């Protein structure tokens, strides 16, 4: 009888030990080989949960002719992994990843969460988010937090030191779309105007910031937009028209200070120089060739909404005229206001897509007393690379 009781006690202890180990086990399930880098980043951020490696979920699903990402497949193949909970990367980018949590026993979905990333890695903020999501679903703290408080604290301190290091943040983009440009001015009691109509447009840009910790970065930003292969009809005094090639372009050089978290909200004041040009191939009687140059101030707000982000950037400038405009009676400097709106969409780990619209209007003094106006508009689709 005593031997039986001892045997039952040993079996009970072994069972409880196995359950405890199972509760500490988390697996990151691969449903898409293209997301391997994100999966590895998640595993690195789950070290407190005794992560077990994915034993080959994707290969097994393919061997059985099943869609690895489907609801049915996950319900069938997650339970055999014998873990307490499975983490499934669904969609992600450089700044965040959407993950789904699956019950290890049934494979049923336990909901989704957006985990912030820092340059594609799980930093301190992302680790806290993961810990909170898992603790809430499992009803227990991270096992490593109970077993070694001092080591966890050391790891946290090490992580903080790492996050405080100075590191570069590069953003490069190229895009295409369309634009419009117009300029009108007073002359001898009437108003004259040049309108380009709609033209095809290209753009290039680069931003090189230096991150000072998790929430502050600063550095230069360069942006260029131009029309391509465009012509206008210029009508002369005799009523004849000439077909005239014309180019409208813009150059923007600013120094940016970025404050806030890329996973939630950022505000970025910037100051620099803006230049707006209109260049006909040949300067005839009507179409002036000119540049407007001056200081510009911009304030960009970036709002994270799940995996996408909305960016709003109002700006103001003081633009100065050049000699060709002085010849037609437009002289001095005047204010300019406008801004840009952009919708950011993640494509892959380091690539994103942006849909942008930009509109700027300037008012310039003339010798007739009335104001001349310059208006420019660009709408583009950008491919953005952030290494």
β strands within the chain, DSSP E:
26-28, 51-52, 85-92, 96-103, 109-116, 166-187, 190-212, 216-227, 231-235, 241-260, 265-280, 290-305, 308-320, 333-346, 351-365, 371-385
Instruction: Judge whether residue 357 has pLDDT over 90.
Output: yes
Give the residue numbers spanning the domain of 114: 2-163
Tell me which of 143, 163, 183 is where a domain ends.
163
Spatial CA neighbour of 156 closest among 123, 184, 182, 134 = 123
pLDDT reported for residue 13: 32
d(CA 218, CA 191): 44
Q: Are residues 230 and 357 in the same domain?
A: yes
The pLDDT tens digits for 181-238 are: 999 888 777 788 888 889 999 999 999 999 887 789 999 999 999 999 887 776 665 5
Closest CA to 370 of 334, 345, 346: 334
pLDDT at 285: 57
Mean pLDDT to the nearest integer, 330-357: 91
End of a domain among 163, 183, 200? 163
Same domain, 89 and 172: no
Which of 113, 137, 163 terminates a domain? The answer is 163
Question: Is 370 in a helix, a strand, or coil?
Answer: coil
Please indicate, yes or no, whether residues 204 and 69 belong to a single structural domain of this protein.
no
> What length is written for the chain?
387
pLDDT attached to residue 12:
39
Q: At 51, which CATH number? A: 3.40.50
**What is the spatial distance between Cα 376 and Cα 384, in angstroms, rounded to a whole number?**
23
CB count in 10 Å sphere of residue 2: 6
Query: Based on the domain organization, do 276 and 131 belong to the same domain?
Result: no
Whether the full predicted model's pTM is greater than 0.75, yes or no, is: no
What CA–CA distance (Å, rounded) separates 176 from 353? 12
Residue 119 shares a structural domain with residue 180: no
Q: Do 241 and 373 share a domain, yes or no?
A: yes
Domain count, the chain: 2
**What confidence tier does 370 reach under pLDDT thresholds 50, 70, 90?**
confident
Coil, strand or helix at 292 = strand
Backbone angles phi, psi at 49, to 5 degrees: -105, 15
Query: How far is it, in rounded angstroms, from Cα 192 to Cα 174?
Result: 35
pLDDT for position 201: 96
pLDDT exceeds cutoff 60 at 282: yes
Query: Looking at residue 145, what is its pLDDT?
Result: 52
Q: What are phi and psi of 370, to 5 degrees?
A: -80, 165
Cβ–Cβ under 8 Å, residues 220 and 257: no
pLDDT at position 147 is 47
290 and 365, same domain (yes or no): yes
What SS3 class is residue 349? coil
Identify the pLDDT of residue 162: 44
Mean of per-residue pLDDT scores for the chain? 82
Question: Which one-letter DSSP state was computed for residue 121?
Answer: B
What's 207's domain CATH number?
2.40.128.90
């Amino acid at each position: 009888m005593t031997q039986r009781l001892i045997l039952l006690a040993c079996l009970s202890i072994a069972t409880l030990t196995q359950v405890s180990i199972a509760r500490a086990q988390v697996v990151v399930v691969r449903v898409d080989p293209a997301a391997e880098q994100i999966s590895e980043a998640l595993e690195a951020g789950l070290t407190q949960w005794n992560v077990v490696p994915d034993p080959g979920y994707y290969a097994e699903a393919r061997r059985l002719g099943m869609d690895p990402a489907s609801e049915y497949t996950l319900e069938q193949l997650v339970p055999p992994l014998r873990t307490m909970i499975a983490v499934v990367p669904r969609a992600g980018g450089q700044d965040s990843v959407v993950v789904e949590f699956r019950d290890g026993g049934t494979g049923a979905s336990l909901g989704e969460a957006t985990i912030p990333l820092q340059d594609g890695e799980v930093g301190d903020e992302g680790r806290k988010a993961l810990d909170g999501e898992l603790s809430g679903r499992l009803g227990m703290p991270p096992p490593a937090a109970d077993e070694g408080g001092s080591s966890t604290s050391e790891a946290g301190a090490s992580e903080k030191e790492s996050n405080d290091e100075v590191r570069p943040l590069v953003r490069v983009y190229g895009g295409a779309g369309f634009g419009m440009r117009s300029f009108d001015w007073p002359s001898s009691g009437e108003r004259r105007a040049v309108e380009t109509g709609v033209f095809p447009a290209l753009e290039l840009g680069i931003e090189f910031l230096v991150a000072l910790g998790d929430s502050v970065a600063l550095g230069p930003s360069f942006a260029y937009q131009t029309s391509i292969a465009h012509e206008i009809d210029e009508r002369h005094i005799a009523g004849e028209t000439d077909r005239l090639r014309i180019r409208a372009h813009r150059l923007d050089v600013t120094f940016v200070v970025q404050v806030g978290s890329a996973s939630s909200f950022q505000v970025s004041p910037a100051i620099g120089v803006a230049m707006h040009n209109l260049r006909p191939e040949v300067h005839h009687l009507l179409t002036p060739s000119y540049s407007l140059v001056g200081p510009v101030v911009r304030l960009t707000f970036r709002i994270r909404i799940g995996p996408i982000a909305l960016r709003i950037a109002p700006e103001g400038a003081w633009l100065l005229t050049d000699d060709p405009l002085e010849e037609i009676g437009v002289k001095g400097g005047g204010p300019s206001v406008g801004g840009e709106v952009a919708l950011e969409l993640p494509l892959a780990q380091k690539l994103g897509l942006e849909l942008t619209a930009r509109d700027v209007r300037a008012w310039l003094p003339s010798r007739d007393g009335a104001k001349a106006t310059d208006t420019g508009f660009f709408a583009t689709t950008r491919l953005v690379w952030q290494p």
